Amino acid sequence: MTRSDLVEELAARFAQLTHRDAETAVKTVLDAVADALVRGHRIEIRGFGSFTVNHRPPRMGRNPRSGESVAIPEKRVPHFKPGKALREAVDARTTALKAGPATDA
């Protein structure tokens, strides 16, 4: 799902929202999440999951073409951990898809 798909879904579910209002709402929420992560905060949405910032220490890597050692600097990267309800919903959907369509005999 893309950002524009999310805007379309929000506008379709809530008839009182115009497309522009839905777009503003999605932009505001995503900007708030990004700003909080930039400041190093943790975001938790109950039933959905949490966003945190993980620290990756510096390390030595290799250039695959030349085999030369390359120093990779430390960095901070965003990380998402799904909540229990989301994990269970995805797992139930995956299990249902693997079982195949139900047929009445």
Which of these, 53, 48, 103, lies nearest to 75 by C-alpha position?
Answer: 53
Domain assignment of residue 68, yes or no: no
Helix (H, G, I), strand (E, B) or coil at 67: coil
Tens-digit pLDDT profile for residues 69-84: 999 999 999 999 999 9
C-alpha dist (Å) from residue 59 to 37, 67, 77: 23, 15, 15
Count of domains observed in the chain: 1
Q: What mean pLDDT value characterizes the chain?
A: 92
Domain assignment of residue 10, yes or no: yes
Domain assignment of residue 70, yes or no: no
C-alpha dist (Å) from residue 24 to 17, 30, 45, 57, 73: 10, 10, 20, 37, 36
Q: Which amino acid is at 54?
A: N
- Residue 20 belongs to what domain range? 1-41
pTM of the model: 0.74
What local confidence, expressed as pLDDT, does residue 7 receive?
Answer: 95
Tens-digit pLDDT profile for residues 22-53: 999 999 999 999 999 999 999 999 999 999 99
Domain assignment of residue 95, yes or no: no
